[in-house]
């Protein structure tokens, strides 16, 4: 009888030891998985604000060229690309103090969308000037007043490089 009890205790201890070991192995395995996911997340590509702004500058220029050539389909495409890049600015730089008032750009993009839909070149030029002014307002608010965006009337350039 006593022997029977001892065997039973031994068996229970053995089982619990085994499951403890299994549990430890599982915890180790999961810890490794979490660590590798964390590394993958840290290494994930995150476009810098400057990189996004350079893309925005290109779409701003292409939007102008499309509009003055009355290529409304292309103008509409460029407008949506612009919008997507500003959304990226918000997503990837959510904690940045450099993107204050970024939302000011959306109503102006919507105005442009309307005139592009109407295929109205004169209204397009006016709204494009306002868009450009909005870019510059944001640069001023965010301590980058020296980045002066311009309507690309001369030399195909949409930025003023002179002091
Ligand atoms: C959040 C407000 C905001 C708005 C709106 C905005 N910008 Fe910017 N822009 C910035 C900030 C901040 C920087 C500086 C980025 C940096 O530090 O790399 C910048 C930088 C730039 C640069 C310089 C990039 C370089 O590397 O030389 C260009 C060009 C530019 N913006 C174009 C535009 C254009 C065109 C628009 C409008 C269609 C626009 N931006 C609208 C905040 C804004």
Length of the chain (residues): 163
Q: Which long-range contacts (CB under 8 A, 24 or more apart) does 110-118 make?
A: 112/63, 112/79, 113/76, 113/79, 116/67, 116/72, 116/75, 116/76, 116/79, 117/72, 117/76
Residue nearest to atom 40 of ligand 1 (CA): 135
Given pLDDT bands bounded at 50, 70 and 90, which one contains residue 19? confident
161 close to ligand 1 (CB < 6 Angstrom):
no
Given pLDDT bands bounded at 50, 70 and 90, which one contains residue 3? low
Atom number of ligand 1 nearest to Cα 141: 2
Given pLDDT bands bounded at 50, 70 and 90, which one contains residue 156? confident
Q: Integer distance in angstroms from the first to the last C-alpha of the chain?
A: 99
Evaluate if residue 152 carries a pLDDT over 90.
Answer: yes
Residue-wise pLDDT for 42-57, tens only, equals 778 899 999 999 999 9
Evaluate if residue 112 carries a pLDDT over 90.
Answer: yes
- Choosing from 53, 98, 150 the residue with most ligand 1 atoms within 8 A of its CB, the one to mutate for a pocket test is 53
**Alpha carbons 86 and 78: distance in angstroms, whole number:** 12
What confidence score (pLDDT) does residue 128 get? 98
**Alpha carbons 98 and 143: distance in angstroms, whole number:** 8
Residue nearest to atom 30 of ligand 1 (CA): 53
What confidence score (pLDDT) does residue 18 get? 66
**Alpha carbons 155 and 148: distance in angstroms, whole number:** 15
159 close to ligand 1 (CB < 6 Angstrom):
yes
Distance in Å, CA 100 to ligand 1 centroid: 12
Evaluate if residue 1 carries a pLDDT over 60.
Answer: no
74 close to ligand 1 (CB < 6 Angstrom):
no
Residue nearest to atom 17 of ligand 1 (CA): 50
User: Which sign does the torsion angle of CA 118, 121, 125, 128 carry?
Assistant: positive
Q: Please answer whether residues 163 and 74 qualify as being in contact, where contact means their C-beta atoms are separated by less than 8 angstroms.
A: no
Given pLDDT bands bounded at 50, 70 and 90, which one contains residue 131? very high
Evaluate if residue 7 carries a pLDDT over 70.
Answer: no
Residue-wise pLDDT for 70-108, tens only, equals 999 999 999 999 999 999 999 999 999 999 999 999 999
121 close to ligand 1 (CB < 6 Angstrom):
no
**Alpha carbons 111 and 23: distance in angstroms, whole number:** 60
Nearest Cα to 132, choosing from 155, 157, 115, 114? 157
Name the one residue in this structure whose structure tokens are 């031994």.
Answer: 10
């Amino acid at each position: 009888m006593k022997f029977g009890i001892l065997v039973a205790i031994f068996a229970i201890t053995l089982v619990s030891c085994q499951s403890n070991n299994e549990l430890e192995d599982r915890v180790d395995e999961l810890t490794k998985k979490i660590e590798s996911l964390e590394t993958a997340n840290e290494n994930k590509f995150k476009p810098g604000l400057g990189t996004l702004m350079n893309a925005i500058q290109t779409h701003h220029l292409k939007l102008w060229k499309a509009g003055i050539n009355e290529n409304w389909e292309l103008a509409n495409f460029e407008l949506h690309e612009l919008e997507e890049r500003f959304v990226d600015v918000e997503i990837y730089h959510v904690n940045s103090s450099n993107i204050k008032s970024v939302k000011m750009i959306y109503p102006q993009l919507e105005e442009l969308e309307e005139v592009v839909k109407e295929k109205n070149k004169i209204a397009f030029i006016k709204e494009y000037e306002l868009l450009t002014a909005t870019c510059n307002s944001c640069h001023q608010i965010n301590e980058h007043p020296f980045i002066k965006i311009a309507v690309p009337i001369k030399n195909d350039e949409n930025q003023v490089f002179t002091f």
